Structures are given as structure tokens and as C-alpha cells.
A and B are shown apart, each in its own frame.
Chain A
């Protein structure tokens, strides 16, 4: 995925997968390993876990470069995550790719209205879709 807003030379060291479906998470993991063989991957089952992680001491050093975010999750949904991650992203902005089973045009427009969201991908996705 190429995007005019992102820096093409920017290296992707750390990738977060925020996805409540274990099978899809597994598939995303394989896709990230294909797209960014050198990257490190951290997995979360809902929107709450990554928000907590950002509040931990020293979290500043462990900022992700890329987040693959599901929208429909039961605990803290992707939408809530997008709202709450705002105050944490003062210096190092992670690129967020929304990965969802929704094919709703309204969802797409709403997601892309967040400046940190660099793409709206409908499942299933391919390795080339997540290259920013």
C-alpha cells in the first residue's frame, strides 16, 4: 500500500495487530512476516490491551510504526481505539491500517477521516496491501 502522506523510507520495526479473531490474527501475522520480514510483531485481542500498553512506563520507547486495526471488537472497538489513541500520539505517529470485514462505504469514509488512518482494507487482505 503506497500512501502520499507516509514517508516511503520510514522503516517498520514494530507492528501491532489489534484483532479479536484468532484465525485472522494468525493470517495477519503471516502477511506481516511476508511484507516486513525484519519487523517485530505484537498481538492484541481487543482495543483495550494496546491502550493499556501505551500507559505503561517506558511505553514511549516502544511505539509501533504500524497498527493493523479491526473495527468490530467486543471489549474496546476499533472506533473507540481511534478516539482514545489520539492523546498518546503526540510525537511518533503510528500509521494505522483499518482491516475490517465491513464493506460499508460510510464506515470507510468515517475511518479515513482520522489523520492517522492511512488505509481502509476490507478482509481478506494480501501482503502487498499492508506495505505503506
Chain B
């Protein structure tokens, strides 16, 4: 076998994660069956790696593995498409000096059907062995071939299952990482028709929203989650949950919570409801701290108010003065009088703009920090 081809075969074998694993009943049953069909004392599922052949399943033999040099199967995999039959090993150049022929188990007959991957690599064989000279009928050989395919099917299923398990494990790990590290807290909240409620899931982030809340505490007593809400907001929150429950519309709430030191924070809850057949409504959603964005919004509203109410006043004065000036017959005294008005108004305007920009800068520094 070419070196390159052998390397690919070894890679393929490794992908099945089968070497040195525990016995599995599916494989044990097949060697039992092969032994019975062929009427031979020994049957093996032998997998050949670079150094040895290792038996995933065996009947009639004590050894777990043998060196590759002694392996009949190592020869069988050189011709992946046919069942190798050795009827008289003592006279076969390849095997006559083989310790397995010279001593225990004293092989006098060998038949091995290659275990072929879909890509055509032979991982090893399903073989039957006798210590007496024997032969196999075409039906027995066909039986051996069919069973070798069954071995391969099990190996394939096992491989798919393993990779799925690995994927599930990795997804679970990723999901846990995400839920633990998401800013805010992910939750699943259930409300039964009898009004009993439970947080069936709540992520660790809840501890950052309120120091006295833990996932464990909330799961034991969902009311703990409502007790932190500011009393003035509680009724509104409960009414919104009621609407979301009845109309199955997305829950979108902003409310204040009270921290142990009495300070207030703005939180939001966004969640999608789903009704189960037993009438229980389940919300999947997230709690978030929105205090900063609330303050920012308030500042913007303040600035917008200042512009429309405070700044607009001197601007209106300037427009009014300009219009009057157009109609006025200007004497030197009149011009001086108007210049005075303009000066006052523009100074007032300048003052407002300074105050506004100071206020804004103060807030901006705060939001950046």
C-alpha cells in the first residue's frame, strides 16, 4: 500500500474514535453471529493502526491486540474489495513463520472481510479463525461479507452520534457562556392559569442588576423579582404583563427598581410570550439596566426644551426688531436705540448658548466615563 494512501487510511480510522474504547453490545453480537454462521471458534472485529491490530469485539480469543506484523488482517486490508481466505497458513509464505500459526491460537484457517468506509478505506476486518483446516461455503462467505457491512454501519452511526454529542456539548458551553456574560439577564418566566408564577430560567446577570437577587433566589420565589420594583411602577408593570398575557403581544416595559441603599435604577424588560396547551403563558426575554440611556434621553429632552422655549425667545425678539427696523424712519437717535436693543438681545442669546453648551458638556463627560 502506498504511504500516502496509508496515511489517509489512518486519518480515517482516527475519525471514528474507536481504538481502545469499551466493548459495545452491537459489535459483540456481530462476532457471535459470525462465529455461529461460519461454525468457527474465533471471530474478531480487528482494527489496524500503524503499530498494531486492536480488537473492538472478539469471541474465542484472550488477546486484546497483537503487533501489526503478526496480523492476518493487515494483509486483508491491502485488498479492500475482497474477502481474504487463507486455507493453509503453514504453507503460505506470508504466514508460515507467524507466531499465531506456530503457537496459540494455532491458526489453520482464516477468512477476513474488510471494513470499508464510504471513501473506500479499509479500517480492519471482520474475521473468523479456526485451529483446524476448514473451508467456507459461498453462503457463509456472503454471510461474513454482510456482517462486515453491518459493522461498518454501526461504526458510521457511532461516528455521527459522537460528532453530534460533541456539537451539543460545544453549543451548550457557548450558550452558557453567552447567557452568563450577556449584559443584563436572560429569563424564562411562566404564569399559570391559577396565577402561580415561576422563573424557570434566569441567567447570572441578574446579580449585576440587583445585588440581592440571585438566579437561585428568583427560581425559588418569583415574587422576589417584583419586590424590587418601585411601588409607583408596580401596578403599571403588572397591568402590562396582563395585556401581554391576554393578547400574546411582546412585553416591553421600563420601570424603576430600588437598590438596597435606596438608590433608583431604570430597568427594562423585553420578552416574547408563548401560550402552552395547558394555558400557561411563557415569556422568553431579557432584563436590562437602562439608567444611562434614560438619563441621556432626559438630557436631550432638556436641550430640546431649552432650544424651543428659551433660545427661541431672543431669536423671536431679533426677528421682531428687524421687522420694526424696516418700517421705522431712521434718525441717528433711533439707530442708536435699536443698536442698544440688538446688543441686549444678542448678549442674552449668547448667555443662553453658553449655559446650554456647559450643561451638555457636563452630561457628555458623565456619559463617557
The interface residues of chain B lying within 8 Å CB-to-CB of A23 are 317, 321, 341, 344-345
One of B158-166, B179-187, B201-209, B306-314 contacting the partner = B306-314
Interface string of A82-118 (1 = CB under 8 A from B): 0000000000000000000111100000000000000
Render B312-339 as a binary contact track against A, CB cut-off 8 A, 1 for contact: 1101110111011000000000000000
Binary contact track A32-66/B, C-beta < 8 Å → 1, others 0: 00000000000000000000000000000000000
Contacting pair A72 B341 (CB below 8 A): no
Among A21, A30, A122, contact of B317 (Cβ-Cβ < 8 Å): A21
CA–CA, A26 and B342, complex, Å: 13
Contact B316–A30 (Cβ < 8 Å): no
Q: Contact at B309–A24, with CB atoms within 8 Å?
A: no
One digit per residue, 1 when the CB lies within 8 angstroms of any chain A CB and 0 when it does not, for chain B 208-225 equals 000000000000000000
Of all chain A residues, the one with the shortest Cβ separation from B318 is A124
For A26, A30, A102, A124, the residue with the greatest tally of chain B CB atoms inside 10 Å of its CB is A124
> Cβ of A1 < 8 Å from any Cβ of B?
no
Q: Which of B317, B319, B320, B341 has the most CB of A within 10 A?
A: B320
Which residue from chain B places its CB closest to the CB of A24 in the assembled complex?
A: B317
Considering the complex, give the chain B residue whose CB is closest to the CB of A107. B309
A122 to B319, CA, bound (A): 12
A125 within 8 A of B: yes
Nearest-neighbour CB distance to chain A for B324, whole angstroms, equals 6
Complex Cα–Cα for A72 and B309 (A): 9
A23 to B345, CA, bound (A): 8
Chain A residues touching B, majority SS = loop
Most buried by B among A72, A101, A125: A101
Which residue on B lies nearest to A34, using beta carbons? B327
Cα(A72)–Cα(B310), bound, Å = 9
CA distance A72 to B344 in the complex (A): 19
B345 A27 Cβ-Cβ under 8 A: no
- Picked from A72, A103, A104, A123, the residue with its CB within 8 Å of the CB of B320 is A123
Q: Which single residue of chain B is at the shortest CB-CB distance from A99?
A: B316
Q: Interface SS of chain B: helix, strand, loop or mixed?
A: helix
The reply to whether A104 and B321 form a contact with Cβ atoms under 8 Å apart is: no
The docked-state distance in angstroms from the alpha carbon of A30 to that of B319 is 15
Known: A26-B341, A27-B324. A123 touches B316 (CB 8 A): yes
Q: Is the CB of B321 within 8 A of A27?
A: yes
> Contact string, A7-33, partner B, CB cutoff 8 A, digits 1/0?
000000000000001011011001000
Please pick, from B313, B323, B344, the residue contacting A101 in the complex, using a CB distance under 8 A: B313
Contact pick for A125, options B320, B344, B345, CB 8 Å: B320
Given contacts A23-B345, A102-B308, contact A126 B313 (CB under 8 A): no
CB of A4 to closest CB in B, whole Å: 27
| Interchain nearest-CB distance for A127 vs B (Å) | 9
B341 touches A124 (CB 8 A): no
B316 near A101: Cβ-Cβ < 8 Å: yes
Complex CA gap A92/B21 in Å reads 106
Residues in B with CB closer than 8 Å to A122 are 316
Provide the B343-365 mask, 1 if CB < 8 A to any CB of A, else 0: 01100000000000000000000
Contacts of A24 in B (CB 8 A): 313, 316-317, 320
A21 near B313 with CB under 8 A, answer yes
**What chain B residues lie within 8 Å of A123 (beta carbons)?**
312-313, 316-317, 319-320
Could you say which residues of chain A place their CB within 8 Å of the CB of B320?
Answer: 24, 27, 123-125
Closest A residue, CB atoms, query B322: A124
Report Cα–Cα, A80/B107, bound state, in Å.
115
Q: Report the separation of the CA atoms of residues A55 and B149 in the bound assembly, to the nearest whole angstrom.
A: 111
Q: Which residues of A contact B308 (CB under 8 A)?
A: 102-104
Whether B317 pairs with A103 at a CB distance below 8 angstroms is: no
Contacting pair A27 B309 (CB below 8 A)? no
- Contact A101–B309 (Cβ < 8 Å): yes
> With contacts A23-B345, A102-B308, A123-B316 known, what are 20 further pairs, Cβ within 8 A?
A21-B317, A23-B317, A24-B313, A24-B316, A24-B317, A26-B341, A27-B317, A27-B321, A27-B324, A72-B309, A72-B313, A101-B312, A101-B313, A102-B309, A103-B312, A123-B312, A124-B317, A124-B319, A125-B320, A126-B323
Q: Would you list 28 pairs from A and B whose C-beta atoms are within 8 A, ordered by A residue?
A: A21-B317, A23-B317, A23-B321, A23-B341, A24-B313, A24-B316, A26-B341, A27-B317, A27-B320, A27-B324, A72-B309, A72-B313, A101-B309, A101-B312, A102-B309, A102-B312, A103-B308, A104-B308, A123-B312, A123-B313, A123-B316, A123-B319, A124-B316, A124-B319, A124-B320, A124-B323, A125-B320, A126-B323
Q: Which 5 A-B pairs have the closest CB atoms?
A: A123-B316, A124-B320, A101-B313, A124-B319, A101-B312
